[in-house]
Amino acid sequence: MHRHGYQGRKFHRERDQRRALVSGLADSLIKYQSVETTLPKAKEVVPYVEKLITKAKKGDLHNRRQVISKLHTLESAHKLVDDIAPKLQGRSSGHVRIVKTRLRRGDNAQLARVSFVDNLNEAPVAKAAAKPQTEKSPVAKTATSKKEAE
């Protein structure tokens, strides 16, 4: 049998089980900002999360409801739209990365860590504000120091 035109991985599961698996992994990734799973599952969850982030960045009611329908918990959907998406506005794509970690002891499966590229714990910083400000001119420094001396 040929595989022409078939997309995605089956993971030896039925359709509903596959959808629940990917949705659950995406939910955990948003909740904990990092998740370790097998490499094929990681490769399957990344495009799913990327599409959710794109919808969350728009932030209107329709896209918020679509994000809610694709995740398991309402809490993680609101966290994605309200907390995570605004911090990722400076990036147009490539929000999530896959890093191979180790081989699982029991079955020697390749494990991988899926995480966000940007550090979400830091406050969002605009690119213009992140640049170091130029120092005051020497004339301005001496004028302010004279005023302080008086």
Phi, psi of 93 (to 5 degrees): -160, 180
**Virtual torsion, Cα 114, 119, 120, 122, nearest 10 deg:** 170
DSSP string, 49-71: HHHHHHHHHH-SHHHHHHHHHHS
The model's pTM: 0.79
Per-residue pLDDT of 32-60, as tens digits, reads: 999 999 999 999 999 999 999 999 999 99
Residues 70-109: tens digit of each pLDDT: 999 999 999 999 999 999 999 999 999 999 999 999 999 9
Instruction: Give the model's confidence band at 6: pLDDT under 50 very low, under 70 low, under 90 confident, else very high.
Output: confident
Pick the CATH number of 15-123 from 3.90.1030.10, 1.20.1050.140, 1.10.260.40, 3.90.1150.10: 3.90.1030.10
